[in-house]
Amino acid sequence: MIVWALLLVFLPVCLIYLCQRIPLLNQVGAILLCYALGLILGNLGVIPAAAKGVQEALVTYSIPIALPLLLFSINVKRWFRLARISLLSFCLETLAVLAAAIIVFLIFRRIIGPETWKAVGMLIGCYTGGSINLAAIGMALKTEANLFVGVNVADMLICPLYLLLAITVLRRIVLFVLPPFRSAVSTQAAAEEAQDDFLSYQGILAPSRIKPLIKVLLLSLLIFAVGGGLTFLLPKSFSSAVAILVIATLGIACSFIPSVRKVEKSFQLGQYFVLIFSLALSSLADIGKLLSTAPALLALVGSTVFLAVFFHVLLAAIFRIDADTMIITSIAGVFSPPFVPMVAAALKNREMIMTGIITGIIGWAIGTYLGIGFAYLLHALF
């Protein structure tokens, strides 16, 4: 069991290294590679049954440790300096996702089964703040492994289609109903944010970074202990959800401490724990069951994404939000900040980088709350 524990912990390191060295693998992404490798290992029968406890432990503990690390780098004060129109567009994007998710839930709840409310909750969190929230919500709701992996894989297959649309013809389409972007004076902050690479692990093991990273890791473990301790005091039916929300809240609270917020590569360290989670979770999934539900899950995810975009365009037209702001805030919500510079470059609009990154970070912060809250609301009502 110790050997398999070490293997599941260190395989993501190998995949990160390969992604940094091989451009094609980097385009695929370390998370998708972890899911693929986990499925292969779990379904070839090479992992002994005795290691199941280790796999389940890594699934249980990885995300609660990762979440604070991912949130420590948030600069909340910047939220209030964002232009009103950008905040409005992101709020409309969030409303569009919620409306789409409710409609999709009503359509698919009998097709997918009794855990549809959990899948929809995961998608709400994902499309207001990216896959970080999807993982946290899925764990908080104790989602069955096959459904969890199936939603992740469907998301990874569907969302690149929307990304391709966004960097090619989406602006020309929405300009039929939305006004064009009007340039403002570019800020130094935007230029600084443009240099950020949320996915680069380069230099993470530099001697000057090791000690600060150990400190924030210990802080994350302390926050995890506080949140995890609550599970012993609350009913099991919702203890995990409360624990995740407490952990997220404490992570955001610690971001107000400059010495915590400014630690370099804390986000990447958190992302590493997400990779461990992805590998361990997919190694528990049954590929036969996964394939049997694939068409329904693809339809669920595809309907949610494109219906949300459609509603966002309609709402943006009502409030006269320009095309570039609508596209960037949509990308920030659906994909998260790392994808913003690429789409801004495709739009040839550098000024949108700051808007997209900050609204995406807002999505990281609120997506977990929205996903868990609306999942339980749908479950209670239907």
Task: Please give the full DSSP string across 255-285, using - where no structure is assigned.
Answer: TTSHHHHT-TTHHHHHHHHHHHHHHHHHTTS
As to burial, measured by CB atoms within 10 angstroms (0-12 exposed, 13-18 middle, 19+ buried), residue 142 is middle
Residue 251 DSSP SS3: helix
**Predicted structure pTM score:** 0.75
Tokens of 99: 């409306």
Distances (CA, A) of 345 to 167, 191, 342: 9, 13, 5
* pLDDT at res. 184: 54
Q: Quick check: 220 and 68 in contact, CB under 8 A?
A: yes
Report the amino acid identity of residue 141. Answer: L
What crossing angle do the helices spanning 236-254 and 131-140 adopt, rounded to 10°?
Answer: 140
* Among candidate residues 41, 290, 19, the one with its CA nearest the CA of residue 153: 290
* pLDDT at res. 193: 44
Distances (CA, A) of 28 to 192, 228, 274, 369: 27, 34, 16, 29
Tokens of 271: 């992302």
* pLDDT at res. 317: 97
d(CA 333, CA 126): 8
Cβ-proximal residues to 174 (8 Å cutoff; 6+ apart), any chain? 313, 316, 323, 326, 327
Question: Could you state, in order of their start, the residue ranges of all structural domains in the chain?
Answer: 2-381
Distances (CA, A) of 275 to 63, 194, 230, 269, 375: 10, 25, 26, 10, 25
Give 320-367 as a DSSP string: T--HHHHHHHHHHHHH-GGGHHHHHHHTT-TTHHHHHHHHHHHHHHHH
* pLDDT at res. 183: 67
pLDDT per residue, tens digit, the chain (382 aa), is: 678 888 889 999 999 999 888 988 887 778 778 888 988 888 888 888 888 888 888 988 888 898 888 888 777 666 555 568 888 999 999 999 999 999 999 999 999 989 999 999 999 999 998 777 888 899 889 898 889 989 988 988 888 889 889 888 999 999 999 999 886 544 444 444 444 455 678 888 888 899 999 999 999 999 999 988 887 887 776 777 788 888 888 988 998 899 998 898 998 898 899 889 888 888 887 777 777 768 899 999 999 999 999 999 999 999 999 999 999 999 999 987 767 766 887 888 877 777 787 788 788 889 999 999 999 999 999 8
